[in-house]
Structure 1
Amino acid sequence: MTRLISTIGPAAAGAFLMILAGALFAADNTLVQYGAMTLGIPPARIAFWQYFIAFLFALPWLVSQGAAAMRTGQFGLHVIRVASAAIGVQLWVAGLAHVPIWQAIALVMLSPFFVTLGAALLLREAAGAERWLAVSTGFAGGMIILAPWSDGFTPYALLPVAAAALWALTSLLTKFLTRRESPESLTVYLLLLLTPLNAALGWEQGLQFMGGAAGLVLVASGLLTALAQYALTKAYSVADAAFLQPFDHIKLPFNVALGLAVFGFVPPGSMWVGSALIVAASFYLLRRESRVAAVA
């Protein structure tokens, strides 16, 4: 990785890693949807094994951090943060069991707007007319993708929206905790608490490992999750978040292409219209925040 950065530079390396993370997440989403829709694996069981196997791959790093990273005066907030992330994962996987991958990934892109909304309501951050315009435009795009007025609407499509809201809460709690906690502490508690919380949420559906094709899907999903998270974290470590944000949106065509190739899911024109509104609003919001940060 160091050689790649020194060869093409940190900006290009960050962009490459962000695109790689998007491709890995798209492959992972496709596997999860195949396991749930085709093989009939209970969604909660997929979520548990997906992140437990990812946890095993991350275990060497976890051990290297030692007890120092576990010192905290905010344990309760760590639990709430990871619980919101875990429930979001459960809802996301449950959504993939019922709705086309293009719809799920487009709707989960609403998360930044929930972050903006939550920052104003929970963290009391100032929110001017420009912010509210961006949030309103993003949610309008989400409504076009949801199309609750159409005959094809299913309440299952609300699951990715709920996942986006919970992951936004996770982001807000992360932002709050970084005022007193180290990044290492946040990561360690996420890895340590996510598996038992997923186990508790999936206990009723059963957590037993499955053999054959189902077992291969679970292992591959865990490996892809670990690799994608590593690529994402590494991207943010070598390049600025504002620079990387446009490359994050490339995950949408990756997911659409795999959904079409594997399941034959053909997105309607309204998906592109709604997604265009979400992407445009997120860019507008990003530029505004960058200007504010530069002035401050």
Structure 2
Amino acid sequence: MTENSQTGPSTAPPASPAAVSAASAEDKQGTAILMICGAALIFAMMDGMSRHLGAAYSPFFVITLRYWFFVAFVLVLCARAPGGIRAAIRTQRPWTQIFRGVLLAFEVIVTVEAFVRLGLINTHAIFACYPLLISALSGPVLGEKVGWRRWAAVAVGFTGIVIVLKPGSGVFSAEAALPFLAAVMFALYGLLTRLVARDDGAMVSFFWTAVAGAIAITPFGLREWQPIAAWDLPWLLLLCIGAAAGHMLLIKAYEMAEASALQPFSYTQLVWVSIFGVVIFGETLAPNVALGGVIVVGAGLFTWWRSRQRERAARGR
């Protein structure tokens, strides 16, 4: 027997409500981090499937089918949310919501085309600069103050991109503009999402992301319609299910923890993409691409750390 069992029940005071609340928040954040990592794995798998299908079919056709499934998923979510679909439609910024939804749809098209032309690893090594672009564009788009440290991080990050695009590496070409264009589009989409969040709830933005994107891309997808081989149907189905599962994990994760606390873990997608690219698609992780990717990610993590510092300082004041 232990000493406590000999002397009767423990006389330790009960945990304070604040301690219980802190432990609960920590548990939620840990669960949210696992969800973000799971979403990153799913999105990396989707990138691989998108590359496979994009090489055999028009990216417009593949993404159109994916968006139709996405719309069905979002409508089910909105119907179950308070206020239903009618509440999800109501937006204070309709034109901004429509533009950001269309922008994301065409960003996905550009990214899939980059996967086919450049491969997963090279595309993501360049695309990883989008957090730096968000920092650089947050001034003109949102009116935020961008300090010299963030500008320095942006400069370092773009140095990493130059290293990735080292002449003779096989990446330095006009096609390398595709992942950079996709990164610019995704950064602008992220900034517009923050802008509409000032007036609209998350479910409203989610609804308009799906519906506006689907409406914009469907005419292009119908024009590129083609028969699907029987052996590609499972991949297409997995791609659609993966999109729904990945977005569901993101929604749940951001309900449990702050986005700024979760952002660094989204970079695990780059790790999975590199593994899939080498093992499944026979891509080569060139030293300059690895070094440049590390620099870009490191600069992105620095901008995240700086924004966390500013938030803490603002709360302290």
TM-score, scaled relative to structure 1: 0.91
CA shift, 1:242, in A, is: 2.7
Aligned to 1:187: 206
Counterpart contact for 1:209–1:215, Cα < 8 Å:
no
Residue deviations 1:240-272 (CA, integer Å, cap 9, x gap)? 223222211111111111111111112101122
For the Cα contact (< 8 Å) 1:50–1:222, is it kept in 2? yes
Given that 2:129 and 2:297 are in contact with CA atoms closer than 8 Å, whether structure 1 keeps it comes out as no
Report what 1:113 is aligned to.
132
Assess if the C-alpha contact under 8 Å between 2:38 and 2:249 holds in 1. Answer: yes
Separation of aligned partners in 2, 1:73 and 1:198: 24
Residues 1:175 and 2:198 aligned together? no
**Residues 257, 151 of structure 1: CA spacing in aligned structure 2 closer, same or farther, 3 A cutoff?**
closer
Amino acid at match of 2:132: F
Correspondence 1:48 to 2:67: no
Query: Is the counterpart of residue 276 in structure 1 residue 294 in structure 2?
Result: yes
**C-alpha distance in structure 1 between counterparts of 2:35 and 2:129, whole Å:** 22
Quick one: distance in 2 between partners of 1:151 and 1:272? 12
The answer to whether the 8 A contact 1:15-1:244 is kept is yes
Which amino acid in the other structure matches residue 57 of structure 1? Answer: F
- Tell me the distance in 2 between the aligned counterparts of 1:57 and 1:210: 22
Is this contact kept in 2: 1:88–1:167, CA < 8 A? Answer: yes
Residue of structure 2 aligned with 1:243, choices 261, 267, 284: 261
CA contact (8 A) 2:103 2:213 kept: no
CA-to-partner distance for each residue in 1:14-59, whole Å, 9 max, x for gaps?
111111111111111111111123xx11111111112222332333
How far apart in 2 are the matches of 1:176 and 1:280? 26
Does residue 207 of the first structure (1) align with residue 225 of the second (2)? yes
Alignment of structure 1 residues 71-82 onto 2, 5 Å: 71-82=90-101
Letter paired with 2:185: L
Equivalent residue letter for 2:125:
A
CA drift of 1:85 comes to 0.8
Unpaired segments ≥5 residues, structure 1? none
Question: Bigger shift: 224-233 or 209-218?
Answer: 209-218
- C-alpha separation between the residues in 1 aligned to 2:91 and 2:254? 24
Answer yes or no: is 1:131 the counterpart of 2:150. yes
Shift of 1:129: 0.9
Greater Cα offset, 138-147 or 124-133: 138-147
Aligned twin of 2:111:
92
Counterpart contact for 1:53–1:219, Cα < 8 Å? no
Pairwise CA RMSD = 1.9
1:260 alignment partner in structure 2 = 278
Please tell me whether Structure 1 or Structure 2 has the larger radius of gyration of its CA atoms.
2
Q: Answer with 8-17 or 171-180: which moved more.
A: 8-17
Distance 1:209 1:72, change over 3 A: farther
Pick from 46, 52, 58 the counterpart of residue 28 of structure 1.
46
Normalising by structure 2, what TM-score? Answer: 0.85
Deviation for aligned residue 1:93 = 1.1
- Cα deviation for residue 98 of structure 1 reads 1.1
Letter in 1 for 2:277: G
2:37 maps to which of 3, 10, 19? 19
| Residue 203 (structure 1) shift | 4.3
Q: Distance in 2 between matches of 1:232 and 1:183?
A: 12
Gaps of 5+ in 2: 1-22
Separation (CA, whole Å) in 2 of partners of 1:242 and 1:72: 25
Pairwise CA distance, 1:88 = 0.5
Cα distance in 2 for partners of 1:218, 1:207 equals 14
In the aligned structure 1, how far is the partner of 2:255 from the partner of 2:226? 36
Q: Partners in 2 of 1:59 and 1:69 — Cα distance? A: 9
Q: Which deviates more, 235-244 or 50-59?
A: 50-59
Distance 2:208 2:307 in 1: 29
Give the alignment of 1:214-229 within 5 angstroms.
Answer: 214-229=232-247
**Overall identity of the aligned pairs, in %:** 23
Number of the residue aligned with 1:285: 303
- 1: distance between equivalents of 2:185 and 2:256? 27
User: Shift of residue 142 of structure 1?
Assistant: 1.7
